[in-house]
Amino acid sequence: MKNFIDTLTINAIKVLSAEAIEKASSGHPGLPLGSAPMAETLWAKFLKHDPACPDFPDRDRFILSGGHGSMLLYSLLHLFGYGLTIDDLKSFRQLGSLTPGHPEYRHTVGVEATTGPLGAGMAMGVGMAIAEKHLASVFNKEGFPVVDHFTYVLGGDGCMMEGISSEAFSLAGTLGLGKLIVLYDSNNISIEGNTNIAFRENVRKRFEAYGFQTILVEDGTDTEAITKAIEEAKSDLTKPSLIEVKTLIGAGCPAKEGTASAHGEPLGESNIAALKENIGWTEEPFTVPDEVYDYCRKIAESNHSFTEKWNRLFEEYRAKYPDMAELWDKYFKDDLANTLFDNPDFWAVPDKAMATRNVSGDLINHIKGILPNMFGGAADLSPSTKTYMKELGDFSAENPSGSNMHFGVRELAMAGIGNGIMLHGGLKSFVSTFFVFSDFLKPMARLSSIMGLPLTYVLTHDSIGVGEDGPTHQPIEQLATFRSMPNFNTFRPADVTETAAAWYSALTSKNTPTALVLSRQNLPQLAGSSKEALKGGYIISDSKKDVPDGILMASGSEVSLAIEAQGILLTKGYDVRVVSMPCMDIFDDMPEEYRNSVLPKEVRKRVSIEALSTFGWGKYTGLDGANIGMTTFGASAPASQLFEKFNITTENVVNTFMAL
């Protein structure tokens, strides 16, 4: 049963969504029409949110994982006073509007995550719930629940089909994330028709196996049943909850409801008229009754008490627990990472060769003593990726205060969860796996870059230097793939100093994720390496000439090889410069004057060396240069033999340069 004002508000959401999609001649009306009752119930009755202070720390998080149904979210944001106007709704999917086709984080106030790739929002919701649980264990004191909120995720059959949701929810159940509530818009329709053609499993049974509390709402229009379901979900904090709400896609539109055509195309003017007649809507287009605005405004005004209450609570907390309040500021406000620049221990160079993965492991354990909010882990590989933080414990259902995350063998969900942790705020997070398995997590790394989240990816076993494990474990094209992503910094450091620079860059980044691509094999410490690595590319060993005879350039393990070749070439009468290029992305953003000083245009004899794909180096070596690297997959053999087999040798560098 629904009261009059709730019915009117639900209908307003439906009509606004349908009209905006019709005006754009593009969009997905099915989800907004079918999910409007559950969304309105959540936002009006349960969601702890405050349009006047949309970022207050203890708000509930709401993620629309089925991002194609964005007009549902935009209608809610408009009605509840988040600043979206009717004109914004009329500009749905238009260039520069605040209402793009899928919700975009940092673009529209009230949007907690960029969603669109189905299932991604589910994983990010798990990450947010992990962050909430961990931060609550760190900061809450008796009588002072300064971290105490829920994470709600709404998605449909497509989200449930994508493998990322299975990965993420398996972990959520294992971790006992009791403040995670998943609203499942269960309508049995996908783009190609009824889901029976490809999806017949019992989703609730699957979630029971994960360790979820599962609840069924038989009628998606029954707001009383939806209310009871959410109350039941909130009452059990020992396990996450799935609320399956049986809905009709396109509900209310007689010719479209329950059909695949309702999913992803405008209803059409005649069907919108039929929708309005069916629900008794008599308003002009893009017009909402004053009663609805008044109702939503009163809820929003009342919800400001959440912010005021939390502010008062935190003032008392600060007075009673000043040390904890100071720690809170370090988690949420301080830029402690900047202090690493002048920290001699952070930049200390040992007198021995080291694998950069081992260097990174030492740095992580140094950083954790300076940044108390370091939180992260690996996809079951921390002994190999060297990402375990000593003495900080393991995050688990039993020990939420632990800072080491065990993601299990779930690379895709790991990256999505990492995004959610960063979206939540308060933690400096990293995720880790072998570089070749970055293929599994690439879609979520792409979302990191789109959202501008400075999540750190620690990706080890960086080249054919992996050796005996063979082609399946030797990355070739992955480095070029990551370098091709906009707003993503990919570092492949050559030694201790460059690895420290990579970590410093990652930790101080505000809006750009970073991948640290690290070696398995030991690498020598290079005399010329320096903090100049923070510029992405720099002269590590220069020619004695004002204009060098040529330039050798490399990254990672091949920089030392280039320096060896430089010495041999000098004996043959060629005085060349060696450039280390740990991060093309940053180098390419440097001023032209600096780039020209490193790679003078008049020096056209250039050779790149990298034990991965040569793709991408041509922009530096040009038509007159040469690129030494991999044009095939690798082979199973000791690393030293592989470098010989594939001609990534000092001798080949020398001969290639001389042939120019």
- Residues annotated as catalytic are 411
The answer to whether 19 and 272 have CB atoms below 8 angstroms apart is: yes
In DSSP notation, 341-370 reads GG-TTTT---SS-EEHHHHHHHHHHHHTTT
Specify whether the CB–CB gap between 508 and 531 falls below 8 A: no
> How does 584-616 read in b/e, with b if 16+ C-beta sit within 10 Å?
bbbbeebeeeebeebbeeebebbbbbbbbbbbb
Q: How far is Cα 291 from Cα 182, in angstroms, rounded to an integer?
A: 30
| Residues linked to residue 155 through DSSP beta bridges, in sequence order | 184
How far is 489 from 456, CA to CA, in rounded Å?
Answer: 10
**Spatial separation of the C-alpha atoms in residues 168 and 412, rounded to whole Å:** 9
**DSSP, residue by residue, 399-436:** -TT--EEE--S-HHHHHHHHHHHHHH-S-EEEEEEEGG
Q: Which two tokens stand for residue 422?
A: 């960063």
Q: What is the DSSP string of 181-229?
A: EEEEEE--EETTEEGGGT--S-HHHHHHHHT-EEEEES-TT-HHHHHHH
Six-digit token string for 197: 């053609």
Q: Pairing relation of β-strands 189-190 and 193-194?
A: antiparallel
Distance between CA 625 and CA 134 in Å, rounded? 52
Give dist(CA 373, CA 427) in Å, integer: 5
In whole angstroms, give the CA distance from residue 136 to residue 19: 42
